[in-house]
Structure 1
Amino acid sequence: MASRSTTEKAFQAITIDDEGRVCADIPESACNQEPGNFFKHVGSLALTKSADGLIDPKLVLSWLMTSLGAPVALIGLLVPVREAGALLPQLLTAGFLRRLQRRKWAWAAGSLVQGLAAAAIGLVAISMTGVAAGWAMVIALAILALARSICSVCYKDVLGKTIDKSRRGTATGLAGSIASVSVIVYALILSSNLVDRMLLVTGGLFLAGAAWIVAALLFATLQEEAGATEGGKTALKEAFNNFSYLRDDRQLLRFILTRGLLTATALAPPFMIAVGSEAGEGYDKLGFLVLASALASLCSSFVWGRLSDRSSRKVMVFSALVAAVILAVTSWLAFVGTLGGGFILPVLLFGLMIAYQGVRLGRSTHLVDMADKDTRAAYTALSNTIIGLLLLAGGVFSLIANWFGGEVVLAIMAGMSGLAILAAWGLEEVQRGTK
């Protein structure tokens, strides 16, 4: 009883800003379990977010494959495999996952597989080199991405069933801030010469694997009510039914448009580095990039989460505005040839990462709150699948950069962010009725 009382007090200290606690979007039985579930969500998500930082394909795995002598063509597959593999399968898997009354088990299984895949990449790093190492890592990353797609479909649905709508952004934001601390420590060591470089990166892979496995065990202890299983049809039929939501729900269509335009915040960092005078793949640069990303998350995740609980629409609007300004300034400085001076590029990159965190938390909270328990999983899968296709199509930016320069790509992405402001402005306030 004392432990439960302590949990309740901690929960209220973090989430309650008025007298009493009212659950407007989950049943009373789930409301009674909410304090314990809240911290299980925070713990599980903090562990997986920390693991993501330790295994970052854009930074860590790219450097590792380069060090092992893998060809550039395979290194170029890392981000597409990671992003598309995590998003594209979701439309087909949503139907099967809807048959599960308690989807926490699917999330836990997905997290467990991610942990084993990360450990496999670590084993490759200490036992293979060259083309063989490159292919083995790409395959292991593909398995990790597929497992992640299962977790992505299930997570928002479980979150919506166990945490009330006024506190979901707080849970995810707090988890992001906690994870940032661990990644910052890793990045600081990564930027120093205290530990052998290969040993540190390889050790980080095994640590990421352990974090995913522990998260799976913790998430499995959630008190989740049995949920709706209607719509658990064959994968192809469920896919067609999901696409019908685009016709029937104009707000969903506008949300996906907004999210699609805001992919600029995820795609821009490599081009920002490329147009800087000190672009390259040095180890010190790797440490700096990991540190900049983690610091931005630490400084903004919890704040973005709290603001998203009040108005996820406004969070996306403001994040898009920040991104548009930063990308426009970066493009202009690249055109005039002054981007590489002093700390200009690091400051701009840090600012974009803050906007990126706002985009992630704003759109995640908005999707959960705009859907109900019967449409949440389908909306998530449909949205993520379409965005996965757009991210694959984003490869055209590499061609544009090759023909016209990275500064032109950044100008286009600034325009995308500007259009996202208009698209997000027309979204409904899905948090109406909450403070």
Structure 2
Amino acid sequence: MKIEKLYQIVDAEHEGRTCKDLDDKACQRVPGNFLLICASLIMTKLGDLLASPKIVLSWLLGSAGAAPGIISLLVPIRESGSLVPQLAIGAWVRRHPKRKGFWVIGSVIQGMCVALMAVSLWTLSGNQAGFAVLGLLVLFSLARGMCSVSIKDVQGKTIPKGRRGRLSGLASSVSGALTVVIGLAFFSGDEDPTLAFYTLLLALAAVLWLFAAVVFSLVEEEQGETQGGNNALKDALKNLTLLKTDAHFRAFVIARALLMGSALSAPFVLLLAQNQSASPHTFAAFLIASSLGTSLSATIWGWLADDSSRKVMFKGGLFAALAALAVLAVDLSQISSNIYLYAGLYLLLSIAHAGVRIGRQTYIVDMADGVKRTDYVSVSNSVIGLLLLVVGLISAGFAALSTHAALAFLGLMGLVGSIWTYRLPEVSE
């Protein structure tokens, strides 16, 4: 009874009458499953923030004396490594009627990898530490890919339409708020945090992933469809034809590709701020801005995505593009060198990126049911993983000319993506 009352906080307006796409047995389990999945996601999302390659891992390897070339590989490996293999992982997961076990295993592997990263940084230095972290990050990303495929299928079978967006949004908001507290507590002083402090952050992140695995194992999942799961590699390659035969799915993948600038532009905003000031306060301001952007907006984006995930993708992409171009305009015009102005624009970019992420996650889950949902997720993630490498190389080429050129490229790409997204069909009704 307590669980049901707690669940009614997020389901008050419908009083539980929302199971239009679930059977009666699964519907009865929605309150408990919602809270278990939400708790698991809060822990892993907080772990993601505490072990962020864009901020924490880059700062750690820099302190350890690793070469800049090694550090530059962190974000591409983390993102593409978790997305590209999903074409094959999705077909493999589809062979099993229950998929929560894949998420549990993936979460355990991620926790162990982050723990070993902390050990490596304690015991190694220089490029040795860098290569050790990169190797562990490859395995971490593969496990992350397995979790990404399985979580969407588990949500589709346990959480009804109209509640999936707010599940992701609530988890992102709580984890973001907790990271803001950490940032305020530890980065408000005048001294630069020590290497020991950052490795403790990684150790805490590792524990969170392991606890999340335990909680997620308690989710009550019904058996799902397993058709076509006999040959994972053959099915994975066959599923690529969806891009040719399914116009709706193809349009979604194009939209998602064009909107990836909301994530890729973030490091360039940070770089421009670092050119103004490389003090610990700059680091603290951006970490807090990133977390605060998520905590302030994710739940709102989630509620909006349940009404129209297409509109959330469109608005998030548009705001992200405008935020990136605004940073560009400020830096070129030299209106101000105040790092807090840059951090404020980064906050807007973080809010917009949260909308893009939650919108596309909700959109693809609502597009299809059963096996087709798993196919959509695995194909789109694998294709986007490859395109991330391509666009990353292109933006790196622009960055060789100037950071301004790279930011302009990504901002304009985001504008095109928002226009494309606006034309997508609605799937949330």
- Secondary structure at the aligned position of 2:104 is classed as helix
Is 2:21 the counterpart of 1:32?
no
Question: How many Å separate the matches in 2 of 1:228 and 1:104?
Answer: 14
Question: How many Å separate the matches in 1 of 2:281 and 2:340?
Answer: 15
Is 2:18 the counterpart of 1:22?
yes
Given residue 296 of structure 2, which amino acid in structure 1 is its aligned partner? C
Count of residues paired in the alignment: 427
Partner of 2:127: 131
* Cα drift, residue 277 of structure 1: 6.4
Return structure 1 stretches of 4+ with deviation > 6 angstroms.
Answer: none
17-26 or 88-97, larger mean C-alpha shift: 17-26
Is 2:57 the counterpart of 1:61?
yes
Taking structure 1 as reference, are residues 281 and 155 closer, same or farther at Cα in structure 2, changes over 3 Å only? farther
Question: How many Å separate the matches in 1 of 2:98 and 2:276?
Answer: 47
Post-superposition CA distance 1:245-291 (Å, at most 9, x none): 11222111111111111110000011122234645654433222211
- Secondary structure at the aligned position of 1:224 is classed as coil
Given residue 170 of structure 1, which amino acid in structure 2 is its aligned partner? R
Is 2:385 the counterpart of 1:388?
yes
Question: How many Å separate the matches in 2 of 1:73 and 1:277?
Answer: 18
Query: Which structure 2 residues correspond to residues 225-244 of structure 1 after superposition, within 5 A?
Result: 225-244=222-241
278-287 or 319-328, larger mean C-alpha shift: 278-287
Is 2:264 the counterpart of 1:250?
no
123-132 or 38-47, larger mean C-alpha shift: 123-132
Question: How many Å separate the matches in 2 of 1:350 and 1:267?
Answer: 15
Given residue 429 of structure 1, which amino acid in structure 2 is its aligned partner? E
Taking structure 1 as reference, are residues 319 and 162 closer, same or farther at Cα in structure 2, changes over 3 Å only? same
Taking structure 1 as reference, are residues 280 and 130 closer, same or farther at Cα in structure 2, changes over 3 Å only? farther
Q: 1:41 aligns with which of 34, 37, 55?
A: 37
Query: Which structure 2 residues correspond to residues 138-287 of structure 1 after superposition, within 5 A?
Result: 138-193=134-189, 197-276=194-273, 278-279=275-276, 282-287=279-284
Post-superposition CA distance 1:140-165 (Å, at most 9, x none): 11111111011011110000000001
Question: How many Å separate the matches in 2 of 1:282 and 1:392?
Answer: 31
Q: Structure 1: where are the runs of 5+ without partners?
A: none
* Cα drift, residue 192 of structure 1: 3.1
Is the Cα–Cα contact under 8 Å of residues 277 and 339 in structure 1 kept in the other structure?
A: no
Partner of 2:418: 421
- Secondary structure at the aligned position of 1:8 is classed as helix
Given residue 33 of structure 2, which amino acid in structure 1 is its aligned partner? N
* Cα drift, residue 335 of structure 1: 2.5
Is 2:55 the counterpart of 1:75?
no
Post-superposition CA distance 1:74-113 (Å, at most 9, x none): 1111111111111111011111111111100010000000
Question: How many Å separate the matches in 1 of 2:164 and 2:361?
Answer: 10
* Cα drift, residue 299 of structure 1: 0.5
Given residue 100 of structure 2, which amino acid in structure 1 is its aligned partner? K
* Cα drift, residue 197 of structure 1: 2.1
20-29 or 222-231, larger mean C-alpha shift: 20-29
Post-superposition CA distance 1:292-323 (Å, at most 9, x none): 11000110010000000000001011112212
Question: How many Å separate the matches in 2 of 1:22 and 1:59?
Answer: 40
Partner of 1:347: 344
Question: How many Å separate the matches in 2 of 1:38 and 1:132?
Answer: 43
Question: How many Å separate the matches in 1 of 2:192 and 2:418?
Answer: 44
Is 2:308 the counterpart of 1:311?
yes
- Secondary structure at the aligned position of 1:192 is classed as coil
> Kindly, what percent of the aligned residue pairs are identical?
37
Post-superposition CA distance 1:183-231 (Å, at most 9, x none): 1122223413489522221111111000000100111110000111112
Question: How many Å separate the matches in 1 of 2:248 and 2:10?
Answer: 31
Given residue 395 of structure 2, which amino acid in structure 1 is its aligned partner? F
Q: 1:117 aligns with which of 113, 116, 123?
A: 113
CA RMSD of aligned residues (A): 1.6
* Cα drift, residue 336 of structure 1: 2.0
Q: 2:87 aligns with which of 67, 70, 91?
A: 91
Is the Cα–Cα contact under 8 Å of residues 95 and 229 in structure 2 kept in the other structure?
A: yes
Is the Cα–Cα contact under 8 Å of residues 190 and 200 in structure 1 kept in the other structure?
A: no
Is 2:338 the counterpart of 1:337?
no
Is the Cα–Cα contact under 8 Å of residues 189 and 195 in structure 1 kept in the other structure?
A: no
Question: How many Å separate the matches in 2 of 1:325 and 1:146?
Answer: 33
Is the Cα–Cα contact under 8 Å of residues 97 and 103 in structure 1 kept in the other structure?
A: yes
